[in-house]
Amino acid sequence: MAVIALCSASGSPGVTTTAVGLALSWTRPSVLVEADPTGGSPILAGYLRAQVSPPDAMTELSIAQQQGRLRDEIPQTVLPLPDSKVSLLPGVRSHVQGSSLIGLWDELLAALKGLDSTGQDAIVDLGRLGLAGAATPVLYGADLTLVVCRSDVVSLSGARSWLATLRAEFEEFGAGTSLGLLLVGPGQPYSAKEVSSVLGVPVVATIAWDPKTAPVFRDGERVRKFESSTLVRSLRAAQESMTDVVKANAAALNDMRGETR
Ligand X SMILES: Nc1ncnc2c1ncn2[C@@H]1O[C@H](COP(=O)(O)OP(=O)(O)OP(=O)(O)O)[C@@H](O)[C@H]1O
Binding site for ligand X (CB under 6 A): 8, 12-17, 36, 127-128, 184, 207, 209-211, 214-215, 218, 231
Sequence-ordered list of residues with C-beta below 8 angstroms from that of 69, at least 6 positions apart, any chain: none
15: contact with Mg ion by CB under 5 A: yes
CA–CA dist 238, 133 (Å, integer) = 29
CA–CA dist 60, 68 (Å, integer) = 12
Phi-psi region for residue 177, left (φ > 0), alpha (ψ -120 to 50) or beta? Answer: alpha
Task: Return the range that interacts with Mg ion (CB under 5 A); candidates 9-17, 67-75, 89-97, 198-206.
Answer: 9-17
Task: Return the range that interacts with Mg ion (CB under 5 A); candidates 12-20, 88-96, 98-106, 249-257.
Answer: 12-20
Q: Which is nearer to Mg ion, 42 or 141 (CB)?
A: 42
Q: Which is nearer to ligand X, 73 or 210 (CB)?
A: 210
Q: Which does 218 bind (CB under 5 to 8 A by kind): Mg ion, ligand X, none?
A: ligand X
Q: Which does 207 bind (CB under 5 to 8 A by kind): ligand X, Mg ion, none?
A: ligand X
Which long-range contacts link 65-74 to residues 24+ away (Cβ below 8 Å)? 65/103, 65/104, 65/107, 65/108, 70/107, 70/108, 70/111, 71/111, 71/114, 74/31, 74/111
With CB under 5 A as the contact rule, the residue among 16, 87, 229, 239 that binds Mg ion is: 16
Q: Which is nearer to ligand X, 54 or 127 (CB)?
A: 127
Interface ranges with Mg ion (CB under 5 A)? 15-16
